[in-house]
Amino acid sequence: MQYNDYRSLGFTTLQNGLIAYYAQIGISDAELVLIIQLEAFNQRGEQFPTNDQISANTNFSANQVADLLQQLIEQKFLTIEQLTDNKGKIADCYDLRPLYQKLDQFLQDHVLVNNQQGRKKKTSSADSLDNDPLNQLTRQFEIEFGRYLSPIEREEIAAWLNVDHYAPEIIKLALREAVLSQAYSLKYVDRILLNWQRHNLKTTAEVEKFLQRNR
C-alpha cells in the first residue's frame, strides 16, 4: 500500500497550542495520546468509543485506557455528556470542551498579551516550565507561524543562540516584529537580527528604544 492509499483513512486535526503547551496545563504524554485518540474517533463521527476500540489503536490495555479516562475526568479535562439524536435516542459522548477551555485560558494568561492598540498578540510564556531556550523559541515560532518548524529551521534558531550568541529575549523581540509585519519566515527574522547587530543593540532595552525612535 502506498502513502496516498493511506490518505483515504483521513486525517485528525489538533490545535498547535495543545501540542506546544499540553505539559504546561498538566497533561501527561499518555493522556495526550488518549486525547488524540478521542479526537480521531470524534472527527470520524464516533463520539463514545469503547475502551477496547481505543486500546486497539494504542499500546494501552483496556484497563489502562479506563484509568487514563478517569484521570482526565478527575482533572476536569474531560466530561461524559448525553446527546439526543433526531430519533429521540439518548447516547453518551466524550466532551473535550473543558480541556480546550483550560488551554484557551492558559494561552490567554501566559501566551497572549495586549499590544498598544488593545488587541491581542502572542508572546512567549513568562513562566514556561521548559528551561531549554531552543525548545521555548521553537514552540513560540510554531505558535506564531501556525505550523511545525522543519529540522533546518530549528537548526537555524540553534545557530542564533550558539553561533551568533543572540539572547533568547532578543530573538523573541525580532519574532514579534516579524509577526507585526505579517512576515512569517525565519529569513525575515534573521534580517531583523542582523540589522540590530549592525546597530550594536545587545539588550532588550536598547532594542525597544531603537524601535521607539524608528516607529
Residues of the chain above pLDDT 70, percent = 86
Q: Among 16, 17, 94, which Cα is nearest to 50's?
A: 94
With beta carbons less than 8 A apart as the criterion, state whether 45 and 39 touch: no
82-128 pLDDT, tens per residue? 988 777 889 999 999 999 999 988 887 766 543 334 455 444 444 44
d(CA 12, CA 94): 16
Nine-digit cell at 56? 486497539
pLDDT at position 117 is 43
**DSSP secondary structure, 115-133, as one string:** -TTS-EEE---TT-S---H
Q: 13-27, 67-81, 189-203 — which is least confidently predicted?
A: 13-27
With beta carbons less than 8 A apart as the criterion, state whether 53 and 141 touch: no
CATH for 119-214, options being 3.40.1180.10, 3.30.110.30, 1.10.10.630, 1.10.1040.50: 1.10.10.630
- All residues at 6 or more sequence positions from 68 whose CB lies less than 8 Å from its CB, including other chains: 30, 31, 34, 60
- What ranges in 7-126 are assigned the alpha helix state H? 16-21, 29-43, 51-56, 62-74, 97-106
3-100 shares its CATH topology with 119-214: yes
Q: Vertex 148, ends 106 and 135: CA angle to 5°? A: 60
Q: Among 97, 93, 101, which Cα is nearest to 42's?
A: 93
Specify the CATH architecture of the domain 3-100. Answer: Orthogonal Bundle (1.10)
Can you give the residue ranges of every domain in the chain?
Answer: 3-100, 119-214
190-211 pLDDT, tens per residue? 999 999 999 999 899 999 999 9
- Kindly tell me if the per-residue pLDDT of 133 is higher than 70: yes
Residues of the chain above pLDDT 90, percent = 58
